[in-house]
Structure formats: structure tokens, C-alpha cells
Chains A and B, each alone.
Chain A
Amino acid sequence: MNNRAVITTFCALFAVYSAHVYTGGTAAPHIEPMSEKGRHGQDLFQQHNCVACHQFYGLGGYMGPDLTNVISNRGPLVARAFIASGTASMPNFGLNDEEIDALVEFLTFVDKTGRYPAEDYDVKWFGVVAQADDPR
């Protein structure tokens, strides 16, 4: 097989694979779509570049804690207090009540998508992890 044929085959596989990742491979049928308020919270999360310090599913900056399950672990009131007042390492971004509500709504949505870090799992002999608390 010449170089061009190998590349063409790879590209075809890549297209099929990508289509699956964009659809069924990442479907989360157990979750309701994000509300309008949650989306506003997501916009605020991006506008203030919160990902520079925080993570979802361990992806993001490491200066602050992972926020995937902050709502179920610490409660919405604690989340509100942190956002409203800031901490020694996190500035107070001066958000109003409506914006804080939107951010908490967004974090509540993220909380429902799954558990991080995994708490209930089994490790197979070849290194793969079977995660019992994976909602899929």
C-alpha cells in the first residue's frame, strides 16, 4: 500500500470515529438539557476565565479545587458564599445575585453529569477501570 492509500484509509476511519464521538459516543440521555439560566452561568464561567484555576473532571487549572461535584459535596449555599465573597486565593469578581444564581445553576447541571473522582470502581487485571458510579 502506498503512502497516499494509508493516509486516505486513516482519514476515512477518522471521519467515522469523529462522527461517533460527536453523537452516540458522548450521548448523556440521563441528563435534562441545560436551562437558559445554566447557560448564562456557563457564559459567566468562561467570561471570568474560571478554568484557569478550576477543573471539571480533572481538566483545567490546578490553583483551585475541581468543581464537578461541588454542589453535591459542599452544597449550593457554600458555593454561593465562595462565589460572592471570594477567598484568599480567589478574587471577589463582584457578581450580582442574579449572576451568582446562574453560576450555581450551571454548577448544579455539571454535578448531575457524573462523579469525579470515581468513588465506586473495579480495576481489571489489564489496567482498565470499570466505574460503577459512571452514569452511562
Chain B
Amino acid sequence: MTLHNDDAVGIRFIRLGLLALAAGMFFGVIGGFQFLFPDFLRELLFTKTRPLHVSLVVAWIFLTAIGGIYFYLPRQMGLKLSSVRAASWHFWIFLVTGLAILGAYLAGKFGGREYFEYPAALSVPIFLSWIMFGVNYFRTVLQDRKPWPVYYWMWGTGIIFFFITFCESYLWLIPHFRESMVRELMVQWKSYGALTGSWNMLVYGTALYVATRISGSDSAARSKLAFSLYFLGLFNLMFGWAHHTYLVPSATWIRTFAYLVSMTELLILGKILWDWRGSLQEFQKNRHCSAYRFLFAADIWIFVNLVLALVISVPAWNLYTHGTHITVAHAMGSTIGINTMILLASVFYIIREEVPQLAQAGCSRQVTSGFWIANVSLALFFGALVLAGIGKGFFPASTFQETMLNIRPFLLTFAVSGIGLMIGLWIVIWNAFQLTGHISSAIQPAPIPEPA
């Protein structure tokens, strides 16, 4: 099937996302070594490399999830994008704003809020382009008069809640919030918790979409179980954030409630994906080889992260694990092990569908090597962070410096395995970028409707 301009915006987002991931891994490795050797690349301080790494990796998640939505709706769901021009503007605004953010970091101009460390003014174009995306999405999916599959709901929820939580994360600009340190911290982490939930909605929606397409049956996306997962995820997104702030002196009920909400959504998602995997025919597995592999890896990481999430959500254990590298392990396990594996599955699914003549390249030895190098390195990386966290939280020395010296071997393992992770993902990214390039080069202008 010929690829037209209308379908191309999504591919552009995805290719930009792949570049963001490649660059984000690079700055992550530099930051990992600066953590151990502060004089390493002193000109590029850790205060710069950390936000460069975080922002680029978060950009990868958003760009690729958004790209998938812009691609799947017109190309596979048969829904004409409400406005291709708005989608194109969205892409260019994201690109230019992203470059401005990277420039601000390199120039040392910070807004200084964790995760949104760029000057606050740069959030305005993101905010405006997100409105365009939201309007475009809902106007497009409203063309579908049939009952919606759960991934439409998940994508829509992700879009709306990103908007809400992005606004909420800037409430600190209002004196009522800024004047109270406790309120400011609580609202900041409330917004971040829900923000993570919002991108999880976009990513998990993509996972379910790809899983149902590979299995050839949409029933998993219309089942009661799928909707139960969705509502649990939504409940978690709204109310589960306070496990980040057990130790901030806020109302006790907020903390206790968060403990109860916990992280049940991953359990159900794991079950759905697990059921789906079991029902696949062998030939289907091979046909979508890389997509299947990445979804399978995400399955494993979901279970690993679920166990860790449950452990650190118990306040009595959180006393020891909070503020340690165990939290970083959880964040890395989620963003790389789950989100990145799902999004790579989405990218390779698109490759398999659009350039079937090159499908074998998508399952090539190089991609297979990259997949294994990345996952084995991630396992080492994750384990080293957990051990460093145990050292810091359970066996602290009398000073911070001594504690850091004691856990140094684990941090060294973390930094070295970070190189392996970067190399593994770079191999996968290189292949995915080339193959998506074949899709882009096949794009033709949209057909002009013949006069009646």
C-alpha cells in the first residue's frame, strides 16, 4: 500500500524519537561516569548532563508514542487525520522547542525544577502544541462511531492528563504554592506522579494496540479485563503519586491512601500481555519477530518492576529505600525496561507492516545482538543500582562521603553496564532508523480527489 503524506507525520515523530534516545543514552553514560569521577568532562557539568539525559529520554518516550498514534490512526485504523497541517506544526514546534531546551541546558540557563529543568517560558510552545495534538486526536477518533477499543481511551486519557499535570507542575509560579515548601514539594510530585501515569497511558495503549494487531484479534482490547486495567491505571494515575512523598510532612491520610492505591496496574497489564503471548501461533511470532521480542522483554521487566514497586511502596521499607539508588533502579527499569521495549516493539511492528520486503533486516543478527546486549546490560545496571541503594539505605556510614565510597563498586558496575546498554540500544536504533528511512523514502503526495 502506498504511503502518503498524511501517514508520514507519524514516521517523522518516530525517527526524531529514535535520535533523541540515541543522544539521551550518550549523555546518560557521561553523567554516570561524572557521578563517579566529578572531574570527567568538567566543562560539561553534571548539572547539565543530567537534564540533557532526562529530557532526551523523556522526549523519546513522548515522540515515539505520539508518532505511533499519528501513524496508526490514518494508516491502519482508516481514520483520516482531522488536520495533517496541525500534526505537522506539532512536529516542528516540538523539534524547535526541543532544540531550544537543549541549547538552554548547554548554556547553563535553568528553570531548576526536577525533570523540567529548562526555563519555564519554554513550556509555553509545548503547552500550545499539546492542545493542537489533543484537538486533532479527538476530532480524528470521533469519526469512529463504533464502541472504542481500550487503547483509544488510554491514548485520550494520556493526552488529557498530560495537559492537566503539565499545568499543575507550574503551579509553583503562584505565590500560594511557592510560599510553602511542603505544599510546593507535594504538588510538584503529585504532578510528576500523574505525568508519568499519563505517558504510561500513551505507551501501554500502544502496547495493547500492537499486541492486538500481531495476534490478529481485537478482543483483548475490548474485553472487560482490558477496561478493568484501564480504570485501575486511571485510578493509579490520579491517586497513586504520594508514595514518592511518604516522608514529606503532609496529611497522614494522603500518604496512607497512596499506600493502599499502590501499583496494581502493572500486574493486570502483565497478565494481558502474558495471555496474549501464550495464544500466539508460532508463525505469528516469527513474522513479527522483533516486535514480539521487545514486547516479551517488556513483559519480563513489568514483573521485575512490579516486585520492586510493591516493596518500595510499603512505608516501613520506603523509610530505607527512599532517597537511594533503588528509586533510580525503579525509574530506569520502567523507562528503559518497560516503556522503551514497548516503543521499540511499536517501531519494529510498523517496519514489518510497511516494508515487508525488508522484514528480515528487522530480525537481523545485528538487531538480535543489540536486543540481548541492551537487556543483559540493563539487568546488570538495574541490579547494581538496587545493591547501591541497599548499601546507602540499610548500611549508611557516618557521613555521606563515606557512604558513597562504600557503594562505589556498585556505582562503577552501573556506569560500565550503562555503556553496554547504550551500545545495545544504539545498534537497535541504527537499524530502526535505517529501516524507517525506507518507509519515509516511499512517501508519495496524497492523491488529489478527482472532480465529480
Point out residues on A near B: beta carbons under 8 Å.
3, 6-7, 10, 13-14, 17-18, 20-22, 24-28, 31, 33-34, 39, 42, 45-53, 55-66, 88-91, 109-110, 113-114, 116-118, 121, 123-124, 127-129, 131, 134-136
Contact = CB atoms under 8 A, between A and B. Distances in A.
Contact of B234 (A7, A58, A88): A7
A128 B48 CA distance: 38
B51 interface: yes
Contacts of B248: 57, 59, 114
B247 A57 contact: yes
Interface residues of B, number: 66
B316 to A, nearest CB: 5
Given A58-B322, A129-B315, A136-B251, A52 B245 contact: no
Nearest to A88: B38
A91 B50 contact: no
B112 A118 contact: no
Nearest to B230: A3
A21 B46 contact: no
Contacts of B110: 46-49
Contact of A47 (B112, B153, B187, B325): B112
B355 interface: no
9 nearest interchain CB pairs?
A: A58-B323, A46-B112, A26-B183, A114-B249, A65-B400, A89-B38, A49-B110, A25-B251, A49-B47
12 contacts: A3-B153, A26-B180, A26-B183, A27-B180, A34-B181, A55-B323, A58-B247, A58-B323, A59-B185, A109-B181, A127-B317, A136-B252
A26 B246 contact: no
Contact of B182 (A17, A52, A114): A114
Contacts of B176: 22
Contacts of A124: 316
B249 A48 contact: no
A26 B112 contact: no
B112 A17 contact: no
- The interface residues of chain B, by DSSP majority, are classed as helix
Nearest to A106: B181
Contacts of B45: 91
B112 A49 contact: yes
B250 interface: yes
B179 interface: yes
B46 A52 contact: yes
Given A21-B186, A128-B316, A59 B323 contact: yes
A47 B45 CA distance: 14
Nearest to A110: B181
Contacts of B47: 48-50, 52-53
User: Which one of A53, A60, A135 has the highest number of Cβ atoms from chain B below 10 Å of its Cβ?
Assistant: A53
A106 B96 CA distance: 35
A87 B50 CA distance: 19
A39 B172 CA distance: 12
Given A48-B47, A117-B323, A28 B182 contact: yes
Contact of A3 (B112, B227, B324, B400): B227
A118 B233 CA distance: 31
B117 interface: yes
Contacts of B235: 10
Contacts of A127: 259, 314-317
Interface string B243-268: 01111111111111001000000000
B423 interface: no
B189 interface: yes
Contacts of A51: 112-114, 117
Contacts of A13: 238
A118 B250 contact: no
A129 B313 CA distance: 12
Given A60-B114, A114-B182, A25 B254 contact: yes
Contact of A116 (B51, B183, B189, B247): B247
Contacts of A22: 171, 176-177, 183, 187
B304 interface: no
Interface string B163-186: 000001001000011111111011
Contacts of A121: 319
A24 B176 CA distance: 12
A22 B157 CA distance: 22
B94 interface: no
Contacts of B113: 46, 51
Contacts of B39: 88
B35 interface: yes
B23 interface: no
Contacts of A113: 181-182, 249
A34 B183 contact: no
Given A28-B249, A55-B323, A129-B246, A10 B234 contact: yes
B112 A53 contact: no
